[in-house]
Structure 1
Amino acid sequence: MILRLNPIRMQNYIAIGICGLLATVIFLVANYVQSGKMERQEDAQVIAKQSLFFRDLPDGSVGVILASNGQMIAQVEGQAGFIRGILRAMARERRIRKISSDQPFELSSHSDGRLTLIDTATNNRIDLESFGKDNAAEFSVFLKSAR
C-alpha cells in the first residue's frame, strides 16, 4: 500500500516546515545578539556637551534653549526636515511613555567626530552622524552657538 497525500495536506506540511525553519532562524539570531557578540562599543571622549530644550514657538518655529540659563541660542524656521524629524521621533517616545518635556536633551560631540543626541528623560540615543555629515552639521551648530 502506497501512502498518498492530497494536495491540501502537502501544503500544510510545507507550511509547517517553513514556520519551523523561520523559528529556528529567529532563535539563532536572538541567541547571537544575546551572546554579547553585538555589544555596543564604548563611546569616544566627549569634547563638547550641551543640555538643550527644544520648544515650539507661536510663529511655528522651534526655539533651541540652553537648559543651564534659559537663553535661546537658535531658532529653527521653515521645514528644517532633519531637525524636526529627529525631534518629532524623540517627542513621540516621550508622549508614548507619558513623560513631560521638563527634562532636557543632551547634545554631545565626541573626539572621533560622532555627534549624539540623548533624551535624558527616556535615555534614547540617536547617533546623528549616521544620517550623514550634512544632517549632523545641522545639530552641531547648536554646540557652537552655546559657546
Structure 2
Amino acid sequence: MSRTAAPRIRTSGDELVPVVMVRLVFAMILLSLAITGFAVWSGRPLEATPPESAVVSERVLFLSGDLSGAARVLDATGTVIADLGPQEGGFIAGIERVLVRERTKARVAIDGPIRLIRTENGRLAITDPSTGWRADLMGFGADNAATFARLLP
C-alpha cells in the first residue's frame, strides 16, 4: 500500500496574494492616476514631441495601397512617383491604412493629399491637412524614414 499525502484543505487564513501586495498595487494605480490627472488638468505641455524646425523641402503626395503591402505614390499633378510591390511598399501601405482610418474617423474624404516634409534639423514628417494628423517618420526607424526620403525631390 502506498502512502500519499492527503489533499490539503484550504482554511480562511490562507492567502493566495498577501494583502500588503494588493494594497501596494492599488496605491501605485491611484498614484499613477493622480499624476496623470494633475498633468492634464494643469495644462502641462507635452515633452515627448519632436523638436520644431524650419521646413527645408516638402512635397504633396497621394498614397494608395492594399493589404498585400503594395503601394502607389502620386505627386500633386497625378504623375506616378513610385509603384511599389508588396516587398518594397509595406511601410507606405501601412501609413496609407492609418490615414484611411484617421480620415474615416474624421468623416473626410479618404483620398486627399498628404504633405511630406523635411525640416532643417534633418527630420522627416508626414502631415494630413484634412485631419491634422502628423507623424514624425524618425520614430519608425531609419529604413522606413529612408523609404519616404526617396520620394522628396
TM-score, length of structure 1 as denominator length: 0.73
Q: Report how far residue 142 of structure 1 moved.
A: 0.9
**Aligned residue in 1 for 2:9:** none
CA contact (8 A) 2:126 2:136 kept: yes
**Aligned residue in 1 for 2:36:** 29
Q: Which runs of 5+ in 1 are unaligned?
A: 1-5
Identify the match of residue 73 of structure 1 among 81, 85, 90.
81
CA contact (8 A) 2:65 2:97 kept: no
1:109 aligns with 2:118: yes
When you count helix as a share of all residues, which structure comes out higher?
1
Largest Rg, 1 or 2:
2
TM-score, length of structure 2 as denominator length: 0.70
What amino acid maps onto 2:71 in structure 1? V
CA distance in 2, matches of 1:102, 1:81: 19
Paired residues, what number?
A: 136
Deviations 1:50-75 (A, max 9, x none): 11111349xx84321112x2222211
State the percentage of identical aligned residues.
Answer: 29
Q: Which moved more, 1:93-102 or 1:129-138?
A: 93-102
Superposed CA RMSD in Å reads 3.0
CA contact (8 A) 2:99 2:110 kept: no
Q: Which moved more, 1:112-121 or 1:71-80?
A: 71-80
CA distance in 1, matches of 2:51, 2:22: 43
Deviations 1:34-54 (A, max 9, x none): 322627465111111011111
**Aligned residue in 2 for 1:49:** 58
Alignment of 1:1-147 (within 5 A): 18-19=25-26, 21-32=28-39, 34-36=43-45, 38=47, 40=49, 42-56=51-65, 61-67=70-76, 69-79=77-87, 80-144=89-153
Q: Which runs of 5+ in 2 are unaligned?
A: 1-12
What amino acid maps onto 2:121 in structure 1? D
Q: Which moved more, 1:30-39 or 1:130-139?
A: 30-39
Q: Report how far residue 124 of structure 1 moved.
A: 1.0
Q: Which moved more, 1:80-89 or 1:124-133?
A: 80-89
